[in-house]
Structure 1
Amino acid sequence: MEFLTDFLTKFAAQLQSPTLGFLIGGMVAASVGSRLAIPDPVYKFIVFMLLMKVGLTGGQEIRNANLVDMLLPALFAVIIGILIVFIGRYTLCKLPNVKTEDGIATAGLFGAVSGSTFAAALTLLETQKMSYEAWSAALYPFMDIPALVTAIVLASIYTTSKQHGNTDEYLSKQEYLGKQRVTAGDYPSDQGIVAHGYPSKERQRVKIWPIVKESLQGSALSALLLGLALGLLTQPESVYKTFYEPLFRGLLSVLMLIMGMEAWARVNELRKVAHWYTVYSVIAPLLHGLIAFGFGMIAHYVTNFSLGGVVVLAVMAASSSDISGPPTLRAGIPSANPSAYIGASTAVGTPVAIALGIPLYIGLAQALGG
């Protein structure tokens, strides 16, 4: 009982943070019809600055880190990213009025990582003076890329199998009709079916590298990886301390305001698809985060992975990609409806991950840490 009381007290305290306040403020402003608008180039610049700062911090920390300690959390990040997509494939996709391609794309987006949610979590951890491994930023691509690749591969397999099934049915009909027309001495050719332009049974292989390349070239992951490389290979301490670090919290507050307005604007898109997306978007971030929290605790006991690092892993799992994921999925699963997976992520998933998920995992870690 004392553990539960302690957890609820710390959870409530997290909800009063300024980061969450700006998110809610943006949603309120949009809901009352405010004409407040922040240009898209400003938004992209803010995201770049935040992820560069996170990358620089991680790169500098990796120089002094024990790489062996990173192996288990990195492995868990890969497993979690893939697992999230499979959970969505066999839950969301099975619900009424949910198109399978849309469900897989949604699961892929929720398995990928949100740079903005990630940055918000780091700020709240610092506010709570909760230590975490700065190299945990390097876990981002280990979860993000496998999730997107898995989603696109599953969607391709499903689409191909569906087309293959239709082809089998079509060929069976053609074979039946051919037999009906056969007269004495006539023998229909199986090869003639393909030669005359009918669908081929041959499956197309999914190419993994273009998906990985598309993810790596995304603006969010590119900024983070660039920051990691610069922090690791150069001496950026002076520019880091005088430019990136002082601006971090202010830029993050503006980003939360933008995301709040964007979330409200996407609500109308979400209404166009099945209401099951809303249910999934509320439950999935919290469930995914708790699964990752469990994996993180294993790493905590095995490798002394900090409780702050456990929170970072959980937040990455709870987040859903809002920058690099959507264009990657649009290219990889063109048959999926963007209103479904982007609406579910931005309108519901991201606010739930930030407003409920981050405080939940921080409060849980603080309670477990005494």
Structure 2
Amino acid sequence: MVFDPIVLFFLLGLLAGLSKSDLKIPAAIYEALSIYLLLAIGLKGGVELSKYPLGELVTSSAIVLAAGMLIPIIGYPVLRFLGKLSHYDAASIAAHYGSVSVVTYSVAVATLIERDWAHDGYMVVYLALLEMPALILGVVLARLGDARDGQASAGLAALRSIHWGRLAHEVFFGKSILLLIGGLIIGFIAGEKGYEPIAPVFKEAFKGLLALFLLEMGLVAASRIAAFRSYGAFLVGFAIVMPLVSASIGILTARYLEFSQGNATLLATLYASASYIAAPAAMRIAVPQANPALSIGASLGVTFPFNLFVGIPIYMWMARTFIPG
């Protein structure tokens, strides 16, 4: 699974950049790809949400979201103060790890089916919901860092310096979050039947356009590879330890919600995964000062294969050990 074509496109872009190739993706095309991916992800999530009675999922969704928000809140100070990263990079990476990976989740579902572990289809609702809050929080953390850098003292003085109305407008009406939330609402209203006519564009073509997006991300990562070398050892450690911490939060949350072992495994996998689709697109737009080589290198280069080969079996063991059968 780690050699999925879309991952190989990223490696191709990385190779092209490192070899000083003249390959380039025009800026207008990259912008269009970013808009497409964010809108497509939002639409898919909204369609999935429309399949389930929302009243039955409100309480559990609120708890899952609240617990999931702990991940970027924990990751940011670790990256900022232990890793000595800039507040832009710390916020961006924290957002990547607070968001989720659709591919990793899909592998976990396939693994459960292969092992005959029961799980519920509504778990995909949490996949849709967990995509966005961490991205919003990442923007907030980056702006808080801006405020702190502009103040002689941190703490309350920095918080008071923020124009919260302007910040809320930037967070919720910046094009990255607007596209995600707008797509979610449109998909929810349209439902599966309304989604069918546009599915060839937003579903069938998704993986091919994602491959082009990752080709560009490989080029970008290669152009900033020197920065990853500076933090490489720390980021590799973070990219392995953070998923285990996040999965533990998922298991505790699943136990509290009395999930089955299969559902607990999926929630742990969601928390442990790191986005390399929505988060790079959103952070590239909302926090352009962040170095994508760091976030992509950690999430796609380390955490993604770690979860596929090592993480998911660990999360299944955690569910079997700590969740009543």
Q: Closer, same or farther in 2 for the Cα pair 1:48/1:310, shift >3 Å?
A: farther
Deviates more, 1:312-321 or 1:62-71: 312-321
User: 1:299 aligns to what?
Assistant: 253
Does the Cα contact within 8 Å between 1:319 and 1:349 map onto a contact in 2? Answer: no
Does the Cα contact within 8 Å between 2:46 and 2:187 map onto a contact in 1? Answer: yes
TM-score by length of 1: 0.67
Q: Distance in 2 between matches of 1:278 and 1:19?
A: 23
2:64 equivalent to 1:108: no
Match of 1:78 among 69, 77, 83: 69
User: 2:5 aligns to what?
Assistant: 18
Encode CA deviations 1:310-350: one digit per residue, 9 max, x unaligned.
322222479994333355446xxxxxxx4x74443345554
Q: Closer, same or farther in 2 for the Cα pair 1:283/1:300, shift >3 Å?
A: same
Does the Cα contact within 8 Å between 2:92 and 2:283 map onto a contact in 1? Answer: yes
2:310 equivalent to 1:352: no
Q: Distance in 2 between matches of 1:155 and 1:321?
A: 20
**How far is 1:148 from its partner?**
3.0
Q: Closer, same or farther in 2 for the Cα pair 1:88/1:320, shift >3 Å?
A: farther
Match of 1:314 among 256, 262, 272: 272
User: 2:314 aligns to what?
Assistant: 364
Secondary structure at the aligned position of 1:34 is classed as: coil
User: 2:33 aligns to what?
Assistant: 46
**How far is 1:296 from its partner?**
1.3
User: 2:80 aligns to what?
Assistant: 89
Q: Distance in 2 between matches of 1:264 and 1:54?
A: 26
Match of 1:239 among 194, 197, 216: 197
2:18 equivalent to 1:31: yes
**How far is 1:21 from its partner?**
2.5
Q: Distance in 2 between matches of 1:262 and 1:202?
A: 33
Q: Distance in 2 between matches of 1:118 and 1:219?
A: 21
Secondary structure at the aligned position of 1:206 is classed as: coil
Paired letter, 1:207: H
Does the Cα contact within 8 Å between 1:300 and 1:306 map onto a contact in 2? Answer: yes
Does the Cα contact within 8 Å between 2:100 and 2:127 map onto a contact in 1? Answer: no
Match of 2:179 among 223, 227, 233: 223
Q: Distance in 1 between matches of 2:227 and 2:216?
A: 17
List alignment gaps of at least 5 residues for structure 1.
1-13, 94-101, 165-200, 331-337
List alignment gaps of at least 5 residues for structure 2.
114-120, 321-325
Does the Cα contact within 8 Å between 2:250 and 2:271 map onto a contact in 1? Answer: yes
Q: Closer, same or farther in 2 for the Cα pair 1:47/1:126, shift >3 Å?
A: farther
Paired letter, 1:80: I
Task: State percent identity of aligned pairs.
Answer: 18
**How far is 1:124 from its partner?**
4.8
**How far is 1:75 from its partner?**
0.2
Q: Closer, same or farther in 2 for the Cα pair 1:341/1:243, shift >3 Å?
A: closer
**How far is 1:79 from its partner?**
1.9
Root-mean-square deviation (CA, aligned residues, Å) is: 3.7
The count of aligned residue pairs is 301
User: 2:164 aligns to what?
Assistant: 208
**How far is 1:45 from its partner?**
2.8
TM-score by length of 2: 0.75
2:237 equivalent to 1:279: no
**How far is 1:229 from its partner?**
0.3
Secondary structure at the aligned position of 2:255 is classed as: helix
Q: Distance in 2 between matches of 1:92 and 1:319?
A: 24
2:130 equivalent to 1:139: yes
User: 2:118 aligns to what?
Assistant: none
Q: Distance in 2 between matches of 1:80 and 1:348?
A: 15
